[in-house]
Chains A and B, each alone.
Chain A
Amino acid sequence: MKRMDLRDYSSLPQENLRKIQRRIVFLLIVIGIGFCGILVRSWTLQINEGSFYQEQSENNRIREVFIQPRRGRIYDRNGNILVNNVPGFTLYLIPEDVKDHDYVIHKVSEVLGFPNEEIVKKIDQRQSSPYLPVKIRDGLTLKEVALFEEDQLNLAGLKIEVEYQRNYVFGRTASHVLGYVSEINEKQMESSVYDNLPPGTLIGQYGIEKRYDQYLRGEPGEKGIEVDALGHEIKILNVREPEGSKDLYLTIDLATQQAAEQGLGEEAGAIVAMEPETGDILAMTSHPAFDPQALSERISQKEWDLLLKDPFKPLNNRAIQGTYPPGSVFKILMSIAALEANKLDPQQGVSCQGALPFGKRVFRDWKRGGHGIVDLHRSLVESCDVYFYKLGEELGIDLIADEAHRFGLGHATGIDLPSEKEGIIPSTEWKLKTRNEQWFPGETLSVSIGQGYVNFTPLQAAYMMSQVANGGYRYKPRLLKETYDRQNERKETFPPVLLESHEISSRTLKIVREALRGVVHEPHGTAGGAKSEFFETAGKTGTAQVIAAKAGVGGNLNSKTLPKLLQDHAWFVAYAPYDHPKIVVAVLVEHGGHGGSTAAPLAKKVFEAYLNKPKEGGEQTLKKS
């Protein structure tokens, strides 16, 4: 076939030229169709769906940002600061700005001890745009900040911001009362209690921080800001200021609290001190304690698991969640029940030979050989078991239970802390309901000396003693005295709450109180260790058995030869000054042996710290931990 020369069209027939032109037009049509498609699509996006995209673009650039009010501070009753906020460092990562992913992730994991996957997971969970900062961790130490800063040239995409963080001024002091805060978790976000809280909000997770979270947290404000894609604030469009969070003034007295903590030292147990006339909790300590600072600064899952699995349960507030048999402390209630029911002549002597045969069993006294002839006063002072076995037999379990209920025992006191335990006041009805068994009279004897089924919390012991001290008034134990709205300079004071008052005759009170004073001040009293040179004290020791042997058939065990974990719990519940009670203290030392030797001296320390402290406004030297 002859090749056609197209190099020059001048010789080309018109028809061929037209063919070429047709093909060019065809190409143009294809491109034209493309252009039409573009126009149609643009019309769809801009005109038909314009308002939708308009809204989308507004949402893009206008962000509603929550403004966290600075969390309220917590003070003790005298205005000593316990919890405040201090500026701290938070590490953010902006995925889009990261140049060298591997290096940055390696560095973060190296400095903060995060596993790599955890960081990657955090970045993957980011919301909206890759330009928004992802919070990696708050509460960086200065050293960590320095490590990031010195290498910042290689760490594009990492940003350290200064934000307020919770600071527990006295470390572990009163940790079970104060609690701790941490970021709201997914489950909590779904709860109606935390309605509309933005992610990342710090909320109270324990103790007062949790109970009064709403006061402390306040209502977050909102700010409409225009941001660029990097999340940088360009301008503020509107602001709704956060509703002021409130500072809390607790009933806690720092000096008393510290005395209680030092007294308990490394022993496991709890001490509760309260004002009998108001229900104010002056001190509440539980040991082992936890470090609220560490928990508020995001501990690792591993550390958290260790805390949860710790056999000594540091997260347990023993003062309100530890239920123990009250031991001889229960004899106070036994005495009042018998006197009020007119079933007892306090002067009448009872012979104690160190044991009481009952049916097929023998119920022993803690004192081998017994106490001889004792009346009510002596039996309380020396804590004679046989006297109270007989008294229990006389009264019967239900009368004992009724009196205990009058004192509010067997129910939560209603203290303003989460997760208070109720304790158990057994009765025939209780046993039928809970165990579907009938009550045996022998069981009444155990309960009479505070063993067997009966148990209560150290708080309930203090609560009971408060009513002995104030003559039968049940004030709700409380930790919150006052709130202060800093923004509006408004103070709100909460008056004590009288739940109920039950008549205790003055005769009964006199008899029992004198005996309780004897426990501390008389020669054979079990709590000589609580005696102070400054004031008179009235109290009662108790020994709660860990292994049921002595009250049963097993006979006496020499507790001193037992391993620590099998030794009895030591109780001491008391008030002071005797003639005008200002403070009630309940001490429980786990496996502490005898209340008289272990618990009573601790109570003395607490009394002295509270009653001898300088007048308010005077010089106070407080040791920060």
Chain B
Amino acid sequence: MFDRRLITKFDWKFLLIVFGILFLSVLSLYSVSLHKEQVKSALYLKQIYWIIIAFGAFFIAMVIDYHTISRFAYLIYGVMVLLLLLVMLFGRVGLGAQRWLSLGPFSFQPSEFAKLGILLVLAKYFSENAQGSGFRMSQLAFPLVLLGIPFMLVLKQPDLGTGLSLSFIFISMLFLVGFRSKSLIFVGLIFLMFLPFLWNFFWHHLKSYQKERLLTFLNPTNDPSGTGYHIIQSKIAIGSGGLFGKGLLGGTQSQLKFLPEGHTDFIFAVFAEEWGFIGILILLVLFGLLLLWGVDVAFKAKDALGTFLAVGVIGMIGFNVMINISMTLGMMPVVGVPLPLMSYGGTAMVTTMAALGILMNVKIRRFMLFY
């Protein structure tokens, strides 16, 4: 099944970039978990275990020909929707939202896997229906439904962050397929007409803490000890890092736990406090290189499916990086999007690495003749 010649096509530069980011992640988590009496003392160790597992997922996603995977796209999508429904029914509640499914000692977030499902199913649909002249409205209806189902389900949890991530994958692919200007105007008009309704629906489905977050974003100092606390502490952490940062383990904000969620959604703040502007620059360069590498894969992909898959992964990672960091910098409301490859979390790590596996999959098969 696996052609050993593919190994020669494996891109080691990519591995270097990914390892670079993962190294910074483990470093930051080490810093967070060093705090004494920390229950999560082995946080960075756990992350290392997850990275190892995630590489397994990466390997699987890489070796099975992406055309083969694509054949099962709708099945995978179906399973994913089912899992999301199960979460609604039997999910474990954490942090006020129902996101977790437990299988014995092992619990995971199906909403993370939803990203992969959406990626596969949209890439399949778009690549099979792509045309030179762009999409018409009627052709967009189906992918919108495909997106809509998991989107609504994760919004119910409520998990605004994942809902956004799913949309990014869709939007990235839209860039690629293009659509007719008439359709664009039409979609725009429809959107404007339904905006109040959508807003209402959206607003009603937000839990009170999410509404608070949005309001807080507009004025963080309004409630410095409540919801605004995250944003304020995060800005203090990043801002106090200065040019060179406070050095490893020197981040007082995170060391002293002023920064909540320092190991998950706010890991960037922990990193920026200890490594300063230089650190941010290095991290963004690494992500930039990863995305450029992805673009290169998309450019050189053998076929439309490869291109769509690559673009989907680029969009997913690129937008998540953008949203997460903007959030920690106080440029956006806190929506709970993890920073790919950096944030602590098994399911997210496995999902991201599997997505990168698909990217590598496309890359190594670009010279192959598979029909």
Contacts and interface: CB of A to CB of B under 8 A. Distances in A.
Interface in B273-292: 273, 276-277, 280-281, 284, 287-288, 291-292
A229 interface: yes
Interface stretch (B95-103, B107-115, B151-159, B229-237): B229-237
Interface residues of A, number: 53
B257 A131 contact: yes
Interface in A32-56: 32, 34-35, 37-39, 41-43, 45-47, 49-50, 52-54, 56
Closest 9 A/B residue pairs (Cβ):
A53-B239, A6-B304, A57-B240, A228-B256, A34-B322, A31-B318, A229-B257, A45-B239, A229-B258
A23 B129 CA distance: 17
Interface stretch (B6-14, B21-29, B48-56, B295-303): B295-303
B127 interface: yes
B225 A6 contact: no
Contacts of A230: 257
A226 interface: yes
Interface in B234-259: 235-243, 252-253, 255-259
Interface stretch (B77-85, B130-138, B183-191, B353-361): B130-138
A38 B277 CA distance: 11
10 contacts: A1-B133, A21-B299, A24-B298, A24-B307, A34-B326, A41-B331, A45-B239, A53-B239, A53-B240, A128-B224
Contacts of A159: none
Contacts of A497: none
Contacts of A53: 235-236, 238-240
A576 B280 CA distance: 89
A28 interface: yes
Contacts of B292: 28
Contacts of A129: 225, 229, 258
Contact of A24 (B226, B238, B311): B311
Contacts of A37: 326, 331
A35 B236 contact: no
A21 B259 CA distance: 42
Interface stretch (B58-66, B171-179, B193-201, B205-213): B171-179
**Which residue, of A25, A30, A226, has the highest number of chain B Cβ atoms within 10 A?**
A30
Contacts of A45: 235, 238-239, 329
A60 B329 contact: no
B230 to A, nearest CB: 11
Contacts of A61: 252-253, 256, 258
B225 A130 contact: yes
A37 B238 CA distance: 15
Interface of A: 1, 3-4, 6-10, 16, 19-21, 23-28, 30-32, 34-35, 37-39, 41-43, 45-47, 49-50, 52-54, 56-57, 60-61, 126-131, 226-230, 234
Contacts, number: 169
A42 B225 contact: no
Nearest to B133: A1
A42 B256 contact: no
Nearest to A128: B225
**Which residue, of A9, A19, A27, A53, has the highest number of chain B Cβ atoms within 10 A?**
A27
Contact of A227 (B237, B256, B259): B256
A1 B129 CA distance: 12
B176 A23 contact: yes
